[in-house]
Structures are given as structure tokens and as C-alpha cells.
Amino acid sequence: MKTLQEGKNPLFMDPDPDQAREFFQKKQRAMTDKRMTEKEAVEKFIPDGCYLAIGGFGANRIPTAILHEILRARRKNLGFLGHTSTHDFQLLCAGHCLKKIDIAYIIGLEARGLSPNARRVMESGEIEVCEWTNYALCVRLRAAAEGVSFGIARNMLGTDTLKMSGAKVIECPFTGKKFVALPAIWPDVAAIHVHEADIYGNCHIRGISVADLELARAAKRVIITAERLVDSYAIRINPTRTVIPFYLVDAVVEVPFGSYPGNMAYEYFSDEAHLSQWLTTEKDPAEFQLFLNKYIYDVSSFEEYLELCGGIKKLKELRRLEALVDR
Amino acid sequence: MKTLQEGKNPLFMDPDPDQAREFFQKKQRAMTDKRMTEKEAVEKFIPDGCYLAIGGFGANRIPTAILHEILRARRKNLGFLGHTSTHDFQLLCAGHCLKKIDIAYIIGLEARGLSPNARRVMESGEIEVCEWTNYALCVRLRAAAEGVSFGIARNMLGTDTLKMSGAKVIECPFTGKKFVALPAIWPDVAAIHVHEADIYGNCHIRGISVADLELARAAKRVIITAERLVDSYAIRINPTRTVIPFYLVDAVVEVPFGSYPGNMAYEYFSDEAHLSQWLTTEKDPAEFQLFLNKYIYDVSSFEEYLELCGGIKKLKELRRLEALVDR
Amino acid sequence: MEPGYNKIEMMICTAARFLEDGKTVAVGTGAPCAAAMLAQKVNAPNLVIIFEAGGLAPLLPQMPISVGDSRTFFRGIMAAGMNEMMTTCCRGLVDYAFLGGAQIDKFGNINSTVIGDYHKPKVRFPGSGGANDFASFCWQTLVITVQNKTRFVEKVDFITSPGYLTGPGEREKAGLPAGSGPYKIITNLAVMGFDPETREMMIESIHQGVELIDVLENSSFKPIIPEKTSITPPPSERELQILRREVDPNRYIIGRQ
Amino acid sequence: MEPGYNKIEMMICTAARFLEDGKTVAVGTGAPCAAAMLAQKVNAPNLVIIFEAGGLAPLLPQMPISVGDSRTFFRGIMAAGMNEMMTTCCRGLVDYAFLGGAQIDKFGNINSTVIGDYHKPKVRFPGSGGANDFASFCWQTLVITVQNKTRFVEKVDFITSPGYLTGPGEREKAGLPAGSGPYKIITNLAVMGFDPETREMMIESIHQGVELIDVLENSSFKPIIPEKTSITPPPSERELQILRREVDPNRYIIGRQ
């Protein structure tokens, strides 16, 4: 197939669907109890050098407990896929965990401003980057979920974003029109936070799913953190609601308030004061190190982190904000 | 782009996304009351010669009222997309409405047996056929829903199904592997039966969605028939449930028991006795004509058809069957 | 002496045994579905059943009439859509495809489209439905079919769904996913596998009360006959009881003759 | 005399007027979102707001902090995913893209990736996010940005999101959907459109109290100056009141200076 133009940056992962099929052929399909702690999940499924993707949208419905655990376990040289990655990216930069990244949006925390530390890390050159757009990454995951080696779209055309990507421009065999071919990507592991899961990994999500349904299908291993575990009758009574079925999932970790300090739709709003503290403290590297020690490295569990940040009183306040009861 | 092999059959619809974009640019986006009768919907949106697609799965969640109305309006020369099309196809063959069809499964009614009349029609040569598979048609609709001119898959390869399709075999620009390129299809109009809709066309479906989410997005016009209309607060209170948003929809028709004699999940089971009567009566063309007159042509509304078939008593029985309360 | 079961019961019980516990299977309605239900109740409680229209792992209260009816997701794990189920197959997560068919040839190619010339068919059948997709994407294809000379043919009139096409390596050459293909053909007379070298159909076992000559006379091609053919173990009392009482109490499938 | 509004308020009120009733708009957080909210409350009650992470047509109780936070689908019509919203844009169902940006050039190309060389950047910005997608797929792109010589440049250091690229016909030549492109650039000084012939930025109206020379001195390229430039109508009392009381009562956006 003739390639009309191609991005200059390398692909970090093999887009061959047969390597993925070979893996999935051996993946367990039986419904077994997959509960474990976040520590066990990171030990088992996120080794140094593996390629990771994080669900949610930066500071919304993110698996914070897994991210903290990755830092505590001092994981290094990770690959990373980030469409709009904000607090998740900030955390991984804080731990200097990353080596090569496929990204669309980094450094920023949207309306909150930019992360000084993530910017330092990015400008230091310690991380290899391949440029994409949010939809381009969505198409790459979707193609993997479809078991094919590429998907097509009409974005990035004519721009430097395309030049600094790993995409190729091809011609449609039916219309002769140009399309960007986006290579499928099967991350080694994905961590996704959901509202409810049963012990087998069947999941419910309320509100937007971002690109997590594609991600759960593309990733070779899936770690689920859930606000709460539910009986599997809660799954079977309304199978229309299941968005991630058990056979995709390798680990189920119950983590109430697991997206904190991020927003969890219908549960709690983001802790803007705490996120703002991150951005402020990052300005001074020495102070930031103490901050990281206090909130992550010297902390033994996610529950302890929640307590440090204000415990139940704070969480009640964030619930009220989410539900807008105090307007 | 080099084509390695191609199907012999013609494409009935233009796979150019820009012709579709031009149409969609002008399509109304405002939330307006779209209620009308099935007669008005067919008059307005299903002219002779247009290309039609039907939602559901043959005799499950089908818009029977629209199909009957198409017969009564004596529509001719329609195009048709049928993945597993069973009772819907049987109806359109009974009315000799079809001219050219993209199909994966026709004539049969699954475990119930084959339709003698649909087989006669198909063997008469009056309909031009292009061969596909269920997933191939799903990919074609999905590609249209994505606003691109083709999608890829690894089915049909090596078979006569491919030879008698309109697909092309291409090579992946990343892996060099072969894929089937399936041309996008934007049907002129789709009719889809759902559980609930508001007057603007926001829809809920319970249970499997088959390929209807892709279809609602691919079709230029969408006619919704709904078991019941709901207040739009019922939509906004849980936006996660919305599967078809209002701006895709052109007509909303309230039709309780609208999938009868087909199955409607969580509502009523299929009327196997009535469907069996169809298959039996079709054996004798003269008798079949009387049957059609009685149940469709001489009937003024879908309600009248329901009454003819046993009315509330029958519908109660089908509800009980669906809920399995009499086991 | 007549055996205490009919040929449909024999086929279903035999087929069920090939479905391993903890595996995934995509099924069509009728006999394949009955076999999967039976397997769940006898030898494979954790068998995950997938339906092409979107139903996943239901607690099947009865055999579905349609692969898209509400039974296919009754108390199921997921009620999704065709894209979800088919792409699950595409990714290599589905072990078995379980199909029927009007004609089959020695390479396991299946015809469910036309008998005679495509443009002027003697008989028009439904076409692929999802069969071609399943036979392309799932790792191993099983077929349940009654065997006779018009069904077991040297060359099918139309390859609807791919077997090994024209021989070894041809699936991969055509672009189909590596390592997939026909696995077992379960007929009323025998169980056939495929020779790993030639990819031709090979007798694996002959049903009790059936002779080799019956198998050969009911096929237009000559399947490979191994040095020693075994006898298919007949259905057990337990299998028959569960099939008759729980799987198909109304004899929709097992009552067909 | 100082006007009774600041430049951010001026930009938001001006931008809001370009959003027609009954149209669809894909927005970023901050000023674009505030403008869309204001338009809904003043001149376009049936404006449909789309968020890239999956939110559709919320009854926005306050301005979202993130285009993926729960406000983006609060009492919304649909809470779907990125694929749903982006493909809606791909199909041509979204009229406006409403973006910000670090640099913009005379053809409306936007840079939000790097200042300086890509590999050794002076400054690294977030990158495209969904901006390139919106600017590629939506029919008309609007940009709200403060204007100065480092932001309004002859050639952007990096084209993150496409404007008219290097001139007329170049979008179509690159393969972007026909008929799409930049529409209005709303700055603190003026409103710019694009010359239909050359696709270069063209002054449409200059804000009250601003001189042509201010507009020219705050741009590194020279925009086309039409024979007659009009004055941008200033914000009305009603617009300002709604903006201050209902859209941004906490002055998150309009309080920035």
C-alpha cells in the first residue's frame, strides 16, 4: 500500500494484530475472584519498562491509588499513552517513571494551569515523545479493540502534529481521498477506575466513559479500581449496563474515593485546593520533594493519603459539591 | 492505494464522506417536537427508490408498524441493508418493495425455518444482490458513523462471499498484512424501534443494541418508533443511558407493542404461532395474498393489526412469556 | 437393538464434550446452542457463551429461537451489540465457533449461500449471517451437521465461510488470522478432525452402531482414514437426561428427525 | 473614560454573538465555554454544546474546570465517550469549533505545542488535546485569544491545529474535509475574519476605544484591512449582567487580567 506521507516519530508498540491475538488466546476466560490490593496489582502487572495507559480524563475518574503505588514501587522506564492526561501525567512525572510516551495533551491541568514539574521533566529531554491528538489516540485504541492493525481518520492532515507522529497518509481504495492511517496500539496494561465492579471484574461506569471502553479492550492486562464492589446479581439484573466484561480484567481493587483528588461523576467533585497545592509546590523542586514524601512516599496506603487530605470531613464536602446541594 | 483483490458486485451507495457531510451540515440540530404517525413518517421520509435499513435483528426489536406502512403505501424499488434480516425481509418481499440489497442473512427466520415467499422472490431474480457478512455490514455502518469512506476487517478473505461482495483487499501500511476494506454506507433512511424516546428523539434501549447505534449514526434520516414516550427529564436524569441523541432523529412515532410479532426484550416475547402462520401460508401464493390483505392491506393501523392478532389478551400472554413468570 | 437415543441427541452430546471448561464459544441457534448449554451443565460449567447480536454469558432459561432474542442475554453478563461481540472474536478472545451449514467440503469450507450457479441458483440459502465472521476470527471451528453425499461434497458450490480453503497455509495466505481454522465436524455418523499436514478431513471416531462404509458412502469425497479408528463413546445416561429434561424439554431440536 | 467592562468580558460577549441558535458547538474550557454558555442565555437558547470527553448538551450549572468533569454532562442529553463526540464532528454534524491557542498565524493555523525547535523547545505547551480534531472536522473554527506580537505571528513555530495551512485550497489538498476552516478570531482588540480569496486574516471590526494602529502594532503580520472597518458593538448591559451573575459569578474567567 502506497504511503503518501508519514510521521517522523517511532512507534513504541507493535501494531500487528497477530501478536495481540497470540496473547489473548492464552488469557484466562473463566470467572474467578480477581480481588487484590493496589500493591499486589502493581507488583504483578506493572513491571519496570512496561507500556501503561490510564483511564479517565486527567483528573476525572482516574485510578489514583494505582498511580501512587507506581511511584512508591519506584517504577522506571514506563511507556505511557496519554490523551488528555493531567494529574495522572503530573504524578508519573513526579516519580520520573516515564521513558517513552504517546501523547495528545500533557503538562497542563486544563483551566487550572500548567504543572511546573511536568514541564521541567518534558523540557529536560529525559522522555521520548510521539505526538498525536485525542481522537488519534482514541482511534489507535479502537483499532486494537477491533483486532486490526490500523484505523483511519481525517485529522492531523496538513499539520506538524502529523509530522511528529507515527501516522501515515494513505489513499482510500474506493474514493481516492486521503486519510490518516493510525496504527493500532495494545498497551501492556491499563488501569481504569469505575463506579462498581463485581469480584470477577464486570464493571459499571456512570457518566462519560471517555476512551476507556476502547482502552479496556485494547490493553493486554486490565487493572480495575472500583468505588465499590457489588454482588454479581447487580450485574446480571441489568446486563445492558455492563461496559467492561470480566474476561478483559486481571485485577479488581476496591478503592472508595479512588479518583481523589480528581472528580468522580455522581460521587464527589475534585479537590481544587489540593490540586492547586500541587501546582504551587511544584515551583520549588526541594519543597516539592518534601510534599511528595509527605503525600506519597511516606504514606503506606491510599486510605492514609485520604486521611492526610482531610478524611471523611473533606470527602463529605466534595460529595456535597458534586451533588450541588449547597448551591 | 493498491487493491489486491476486489468483489464483483456493485456498490449501491456512494462511500464518499464529503457527500454525507454536506447532507449533515444542513440537517436540523435544534430540539423540536418530532412526533408524527407512522403513515406521516413513511410519506415524508421513505419515498420510492430510497435506500432503507431496518434496526433490530430480524424478529427482535423491529419497527413493524413502519414495515407494514411501507407495504400499505406500496413503496417500490427500495434499496435495503440487511444483516440478519428475517421477518423484516419477509415483509418487504411480501410487498415486492425491494430492488437492490446489501445482505448477510435473508430468506430464513433462524430456528423457525425458511420463508417460501422470500425464497421465491430471491430466486426470481427481481432483486439485485450484493453479498456481505453480518460483521461486514456492521463495519460498513461503523465507518459511515465515523465519517470515513471505509473500515477494515479480516473476514470474508479467501471466500466466495468476498468475490460476490463490493469489498476490496488491501495491504496494511504498517504491517504489510492483508485486510478487507469495507466501504462506508450511509442509508437514506433507517427505522429503529426502541423502548423509550422523548418527543425530540432521545432514546433508551434495554438489552442488546445489535448494530443500531452505528445505524442511527450512519443513516441520513432516522425514524424512531418507541414502545412509549417519556418526559425529557427521564433522559436528563441519567444521560449515561441515552444511546441515540435527538439530532440524529427525524421522526418519533409512539407504537406500543411495536415489535410484534417479534420479541421485545423485557417487554414481550415473539408470537411464534403467528410467525409460524406466515411461513405456512406463504407456501400457497393465492392464500398468502388473502393473508396479506387480511393482516396488512385491509388494515388501517397497527393497533387494528394487534387487535386482529388477539389484542390485549394475546399481548398479556406474550408479556408473561417474556418475563418467564409461568415457568 | 436400537440405541436409547436418536442421532440428533448423539450429535449434541458428542459435540458438547469438545467444549472445554473455561473457554469461550460463539454459537448459532439450534443444535450448536443446545450443545453449548449441555456442556455448561455437564463438563464445562465455566464455558462462556457468546451471541453475535450482543448477548454474553446468559443464564439460559431455554434455548433461544434467534441468536438475537431476549434469552441470549437473560440474566447475562452483558447485553451489548454486534460490534462488541464480533470484535471480541477479532481480538482472539473466542476459542470456538460453533456452526451448521448446507454443504461442507474436505477442507472444512462451508456453503450456506447457494446451490448451483450464484446468479441463477437452484436453491438460495440465507447466506453467511455471522458464520463467515466466526469461522474467520475464532480459533477453532466446530460444525454439527447431518452427513450425506449432497452435504459432504468434493467442492462446495460457494464458499460462504472459510475452512482451510484449498489446503495448508491457504488461510494465512488469504490474510485470515494465523493459527485459526476448522477443528471438529460432528455428524450423525462420525467425528472428523483435520490432518495437520494436508488439512484434509480425517475420521477420528465412528459412532457406535455405524460402520466405516456408512461414513464413506455418505460423503462425496473420501476423508482420510487413520490406521485405527476409534468408536465415539455413546451419550451417557446423565448427558441424555440433562439434554432431555433441562436443555430441550420441549424437544424443539432433539425432536427433529 | 474607561468602559464599564474589561477586555475578557468584551471578548466573551463578542464571541457569543457569532454562535447562531440551533447550531452545534464543540468547546474547550475557559473563555470558549463561557461564551457558549452566554450565547445559550442570550441569543442562542437552542445551541447544543459538545465536550470532547463525552458530555452532550448539559444544563451547565457552572463553568466546567475540565472538558471531562461532571459538569459537562450535568442533566445532559447524553454522557457518552470521546469516540461518540469526535465521530459526531467527523460526520459533519458540528458547526463550530471554539478554541484557544498560544500562537496563531495569518492563515489561522494554531500552535499549542512548542515555542522554538520541536526537539529542543524553548517552551513546551500541552499539545493538541482535541483541538486539532475539532479544527479538522467542525465546519467553522472560532478562536478567542489575546492579541500581541508574540501570539500573532507570520508563521507559527508548530502547526498543532490546521487553519487554512499555506493558503486557499490547501486544506482540501491535504485531505481535510471540504468546506471547513477558520471563521472568526476574536481578540481583545478586534474581530478578524478571513478573505475568501486569499484565506488571509482580515479585520472585520475594531472594538470601541481601539484604533486600527493598535490592532496592527499588536500583530507580527499585517492583516488585510478592508476599505471600511466597522466598530464592534460593545457588550450590552444585559449580556454583561448575565455573564457576571449567571455564567461566571466567581469571576474565574472574567477576573483574569
Q: Determine which of D24, D73, D78, D96 to mutate to test the interface with B (most B C-beta atoms within 10 Å).
A: D78
Mean pLDDT (whole number) for B166-183: 97
Per-residue model confidence (pLDDT) at position C100: 84
Per-residue model confidence (pLDDT) at position C252: 82
Each residue's pLDDT tens digit, C127-169: 999 999 999 999 999 999 999 999 999 999 999 999 999 999 9
3-state SS string for A201-224? CCEECCCCCECHHHHHHHCCEEEE
Query: Per residue in A32-43, is it b (16+ CB within 10 Å) or e — as a string?
Result: eebbbbbbebbe
Is residue D91 within 8 angstroms of chain B, CB to CB? yes
Per-residue model confidence (pLDDT) at position C256: 78
Q: Which residues of B touch C118 (CB under 8 A)?
A: 160, 164
Q: Let me know: does A96 contact A69? Beta carbons within 8 Å.
A: no
CA A261 to chain centre: 15
**Chain B touching partners, 3 or more CB pairs below 8 A:** A, C, D
Mean pLDDT (whole number) for B22-49: 97
Residue A194's DSSP bridge partners are A226
C-alpha cell at C38: 449441555
Q: Which residues of C touch A242 (CB under 8 A)?
A: 77-80
Is residue B270 within 8 angstroms of chain C, CB to CB? yes
Q: How confident is the model at residue A206 (pLDDT cuts 50, 70, 90)?
A: very high
Is the entire prediction scored with pTM above 0.95? yes
C92: nearest CB among A25, A28, A145: A25
Give the C-alpha distances (Å, rounded to integers) separating A250 from A93, A222, B121, B223.
26, 5, 51, 42
Which residues lie below 8 Å from residue B317, measured CB to CB, with a gap of 6+? B310
Q: How confident is the model at residue C255 (pLDDT cuts 50, 70, 90)?
A: confident
Q: How confident is the model at residue A1 (pLDDT cuts 50, 70, 90)?
A: low
**Percentage with pLDDT > 90 across chain C:** 88
Per-residue model confidence (pLDDT) at position D255: 87
Each residue's pLDDT tens digit, D180-213: 999 999 999 999 999 999 999 999 999 999 999 9
C75 to A237: CB separation less than 8 angstroms, yes or no: yes
Q: Which residues of B touch C159 (CB under 8 A)?
A: 158-161
Is residue C91 within 8 angstroms of chain A, CB to CB? yes
Is C52 labeled as catalytic in the residue annotation? Answer: yes
Q: Let me know: does B256 contact B226? Beta carbons within 8 Å.
A: no
Q: Which residue is closest to B172 within chain A, CA to CA?
A: A1
Each residue's pLDDT tens digit, B98-137: 999 999 999 999 989 999 999 999 999 999 999 999 999 9
3-class secondary structure, D54: coil
Whether the link from the prior residue into A261 is cis, omega within 30° of 0, is: yes
C-alpha cell at A18: 497477530
Is residue C78 within 8 angstroms of chain B, CB to CB? no
Q: Read out DSSP for D17-36? A: HTS-TT-EEEE-TTHHHHHH
Closest Cα to residue D158, out of D180, D131, D139? D131
Place of cell 440459502: C125
Per-residue model confidence (pLDDT) at position C187: 97
Q: How confident is the model at residue A316 (pLDDT cuts 50, 70, 90)?
A: very high
Q: How confident is the model at residue C246 (pLDDT cuts 50, 70, 90)?
A: very high
CATH assignment of A3-323?
A: 3.40.1080.10
Considering only residues 147 to 166 of chain B, which have any Cβ-Cβ distance to chain C shorter than 8 Å? Answer: 153-161, 164
Query: Per residue in D63-89, is it b (16+ CB within 10 Å) or e — as a string?
Result: bbbbbbbbbbbbebbbbbbbbbbbbbb
Q: How far apart are the C-alpha atoms of A227 and A231, rounded to whole Å? A: 14
In this predicted structure, the answer to whether residue D257 has a pLDDT above a threshold of 70 is: no
In this predicted structure, the answer to whether residue A327 has a pLDDT above a threshold of 70 is: no
**Chain D touching partners, 3 or more CB pairs below 8 A:** A, B
Q: Which residues of A touch C177 (CB under 8 A)?
A: 17-18, 21, 147
In this predicted structure, the answer to whether residue D256 has a pLDDT above a threshold of 90 is: no
Q: Let me know: does C80 contact C54? Beta carbons within 8 Å.
A: yes
D59 to B236: CB separation less than 8 angstroms, yes or no: yes
Give the C-alpha distances (Å, rounded to integers) separating D186 from A179, C19, D191, D206.
31, 65, 5, 10
In this predicted structure, the answer to whether residue A12 has a pLDDT above a threshold of 90 is: yes
Per-residue model confidence (pLDDT) at position B72: 98
Helices vs strands, H then E, count in chain C: 7, 14
Per-residue model confidence (pLDDT) at position C257: 62
Considering only residues 14 to 73 of chain C, which have any Cβ-Cβ distance to chain B shorter than 8 Å? Answer: 29-30, 52-55, 61, 64-70, 72-73
CA dihedral D169, D171, D175, D181 (to 10 degrees): -120
C-alpha cell at D123: 517552551
Cβ burial of A99 (10 Å; 0-12, 13-18, 19+) is middle
Each residue's pLDDT tens digit, A57-69: 999 999 999 999 9
The yes-or-no reply on D/A contact (3 CB pairs or more, < 8 Å) is: yes
Distance from CA of B291 to the nearest CA of C (A): 24
D29 to A164: CB separation less than 8 angstroms, yes or no: no
Mean pLDDT (whole number) for B84-106: 97
Q: Which helix (H) or strand (E) holds B192?
A: strand B189-197
Is residue D125 within 8 angstroms of chain A, CB to CB? yes
Q: How confident is the model at residue C93 (pLDDT cuts 50, 70, 90)?
A: very high
Is residue D129 within 8 angstroms of chain A, CB to CB? yes
Each residue's pLDDT tens digit, B144-170: 999 999 999 999 999 999 999 999 999
Q: How far apart are the C-alpha atoms of B171 and D75, rounded to whole Å? A: 46
Q: How confident is the model at residue D1 (pLDDT cuts 50, 70, 90)?
A: low
Residue A40 exposure: Cα atoms within 13 Å on the Cβ side = 11
C-alpha cell at B69: 406502512
Mean pLDDT (whole number) for B252-276: 98
| ipTM of this predicted structure | 0.97
Q: How far apart are the C-alpha atoms of C52 and C81, rounded to whole Å? A: 8
**Percentage with pLDDT > 90 across chain B:** 96
CA A237 to chain centre: 29
Distance from CA of D97 to the nearest CA of A (A): 14
The more confident residue out of D28 and B42 is B42
Q: How far apart are the C-alpha atoms of C43 and C239, rounded to whole Å? A: 10
Q: Which amino acid is at C136?
A: S
C-alpha cell at B148: 470515513
Phi and psi based region of residue D199 (left: phi greater than 0; alpha: psi -120 to 50; beta: remaining): left
Determine the straight-line distance between the first and last CA of chain C, rounded to whole angstroms. Answer: 19
The single-letter DSSP state of residue B51 is E
Per-residue model confidence (pLDDT) at position C1: 57
Each residue's pLDDT tens digit, C159-204: 999 999 999 999 999 999 999 999 999 999 999 999 999 999 999 9
Domain C7-247 has CATH 3.40.50.300: no
Q: Which residues of A touch C178 (CB under 8 A)?
A: 18, 21
Per-residue model confidence (pLDDT) at position B1: 64
Per-residue model confidence (pLDDT) at position D61: 87
Q: Which residues of C touch B322 (CB under 8 A)?
A: 70
Mean pLDDT over all residues of chain C?
A: 95
Give the C-alpha distances (Å, rounded to integers) separating B243 from B59, B98, B201, B203, B217.
21, 29, 10, 6, 10
D128: nearest CB among A104, A119, A123: A104
Mean pLDDT over all residues of chain A?
A: 97
Mean pLDDT (whole number) for A180-207: 98
Mean pLDDT (whole number) for C34-53: 95
Q: Determine which of C20, C75, C77, C83 to mutate to test the interface with A (most A C-beta atoms within 10 Å).
A: C77
Strands D140-144, D96-99: pairing is parallel
Q: How confident is the model at residue A49 (pLDDT cuts 50, 70, 90)?
A: very high
CB atoms within 10 A of CB D202: 18
CB atoms within 10 A of CB A48: 12
Please provide residue C242's backbone torsions phi and psi, each rounded to the nearest 5 degrees.
-65, -40
Q: Alpha-carbon torsion A263, A264, A265, A271, what sign? A: negative
Domain extents in chain A: 3-323
CB pairs under 8 A between B and C: 186
In this predicted structure, the answer to whether residue A292 has a pLDDT above a threshold of 80 is: yes
Give the C-alpha distances (Å, rounded to integers) separating A308 from A128, A142, A267, A314.
35, 39, 20, 10
The yes-or-no reply on C/D contact (3 CB pairs or more, < 8 Å) is: no
Q: How far apart are the C-alpha atoms of A315 and A257, rounded to whole Å? A: 8
In this predicted structure, the answer to whether residue D100 has a pLDDT above a threshold of 90 is: no
A217 to C21: CB separation less than 8 angstroms, yes or no: no
C-alpha cell at B156: 470474508
Determine which one of C52, C200, C204, C239 is catalytic. Answer: C52
Which residues lie below 8 Å from residue B287, measured CB to CB, with a gap of 6+? B281
Which residues lie below 8 Å from residue A233, measured CB to CB, with a gap of 6+? none
C48 to A20: CB separation less than 8 angstroms, yes or no: no
In this predicted structure, the answer to whether residue C90 has a pLDDT above a threshold of 60 is: yes
Which residues lie below 8 Å from residue B189, measured CB to CB, with a gap of 6+? B45, B46, B50, B51, B52, B53, B219, B220, B221, B222, B223
Please provide residue B175's backbone torsions phi and psi, each rounded to the nearest 5 degrees.
-110, -15
The yes-or-no reply on D/B contact (3 CB pairs or more, < 8 Å) is: yes
Place of cell 492505494: B1
D69 to A60: CB separation less than 8 angstroms, yes or no: yes
**Chain C touching partners, 3 or more CB pairs below 8 A:** A, B
Domain extents in chain D: 7-247
Q: How far apart are the C-alpha atoms of D161 and D131, rounded to whole Å? A: 6
Is residue A265 within 8 angstroms of chain D, CB to CB? yes
Q: How far apart are the C-alpha atoms of D61 and C25, rounded to whole Å? A: 48
A240 to B206: CB separation less than 8 angstroms, yes or no: yes
3-class secondary structure, C164: coil
Mean pLDDT (whole number) for D46-62: 95
Q: Which amino acid is at B247?
A: Y
